[in-house]
Amino acid sequence: MDSQAPSSHPAHVSRARREAALRTALAPIVQFLEDASVVEIMLNADGAVWIERSGVGMSCSDATMTPENALRMLRVIATEMNVELSDANPSLAGKLPIWGARVQASIVAGAGA
């Protein structure tokens, strides 16, 4: 019989670490992912984060993201989705782990993904 508690099992630890990495990478926008009134989140090339709330419309938030952090975020998401993100495959589409939100993103060629 295994004397380890389920939460210390390697698979649980690995999943917890991956989820922690995902939450860290998405830190600037987690508040919007967890807000039921937010129906869309957009990150523009200038680092501005725009959100659309149901019944309110689109507005620029106070959140920003550097290009380096945006690329890191996309790499972490791609890894979690088991998708390659590279110059040869610059688009990412699918569901965001944890939140289940739809993700549609592309990187600029030469971004070093």
Listed by start position, the domains of the chain span 6-106
For domain 6-106, say whether CATH 3.30.70.141 is its number: no
The C-alpha atoms of residue 69 and residue 3 are separated, in whole angstroms, by 40
Q: How many CB atoms lie within 10 A of CB 79?
A: 16
Q: Could you report the per-residue pLDDT of 55-91, keeping only the tens digit for each?
A: 999 999 999 999 999 999 999 999 999 999 999 999 9
Q: Is the per-residue pLDDT at 37 higher than 90?
A: yes
Query: Residue 1: its pLDDT value, please?
Result: 47
Confidence bin at 112 (pLDDT 50/70/90): low
Q: What is the mean pLDDT of residues 21-48?
A: 94
Q: Which amino acid is at 87?
A: D
Query: What does the pLDDT read at residue 44?
Result: 92
Which among 13, 60, 11, 67 is positioned nearest to 32, based on CA atoms? 60
Looking at residue 8, its pLDDT comes to 57
β-partners of residue 58 are: 52
